[in-house]
Amino acid sequence: MLHNLRQLVRYRGLIQSLVARELKARYRGSVLGFFWSFINPLLLLSIYSFVFTFVLPSRPTDLEPYALFLFCGILPWTWFSSSLAESSQVLIAGGNLIKKVLFPAEVLPIVTVLANMVHFFLGLPILFLFILYYRHAVLTASEILWLPAVIAVQLVMTLGLALFLSAITVHFRDVKDILGNLLTFWFFATPIIYPMDVAPAVGRQLLNLNPVTHLAISYQEILFYPGPFGHWRWLLATAAASCALFLAGYFVFDRLRDSFAEEV
């Protein structure tokens, strides 16, 4: 396992090429092309803003502007959920590549996560424009320095889950169907459309067990709430858990890799 893990550095050129190919192929033939990277999160934001502004308007006053609060959570969630949903099928879709003897199968879920991360980065300027428009908070240098750390933690966590899901879906095709419902539940079990402090004490303890909770709160504290970043201890704990999750996901992937060619 450790030998194969070290080999990933050698595949960086292949990963870059496949990420570029994935980004070009995703919007090939589309009139708007890469602009969908900006439009999709804005459409999702508009839907939730409409529902929770006009249909269910009751919410704490410190969440204004609510659209900005939503955007801080929806943008990273889109990266996370899209990566997992696509990774669950990526080995099956790439069966022809996997059957080639020298092709490293783990590259495929990694490319999926990185391609969605690029879309996340393309959406960040829109988020920063929202912050400037509302003038809701002034980002300090210390908060800006924490932002890459949060992104790195999310990347490691997402890679670990993507490797695990891509490997087990080859053997259990029902996973991709279950995953859709799980991600819906996971979304509402993460403080994205509501703040953490509105949950009751018991619910808050359960939410703390969700690692994505601490990513969402970290983004909100850095980009939405004024003041210093106070969630850093939880973020460090999440970072440790993400590293363990990545190693566990890669371990499962490595153990099952020899059976991929037969199953796809």
Alpha-carbon distance of 126 to 38, in angstroms, equals: 7
- Provide φ and ψ at 27, rounded to 5°: -115, 20
Residue 235: pLDDT band with limits 50, 70, 90: very high
Lowest average pLDDT, out of 2-6, 33-37, 139-143, goes to 33-37
**Under the phi-then-psi rule, with left for phi > 0, alpha for psi from -120 to 50, and beta for the rest, what region is 135?**
left
Q: Which two tokens stand for residue 44?
A: 């999702």
Cβ count within 10 A of residue 74: 26
| DSSP characters over 168-201 | HHHH-TTHHHHHHHHHHHHHHTSTTSS-GGGS-H
* Domain extents in the chain: 2-263
Q: Which two tokens stand for residue 96?
A: 């022809």
Tell me the residue length of the chain: 264
Lowest average pLDDT, out of 1-10, 31-40, 46-55, goes to 31-40
The model carries a pTM of: 0.89
State pLDDT tens for residues 200-230. 888 888 899 999 999 999 999 998 887 778 8
Cβ count within 10 A of residue 68: 21
State pLDDT tens for residues 236-248. 999 999 999 999 9
Alpha-carbon distance of 183 to 169, in angstroms, equals: 16
The answer to whether 165 and 88 are in contact (CB under 8 A) is yes
Alpha-carbon distance of 9 to 20, in angstroms, equals: 18
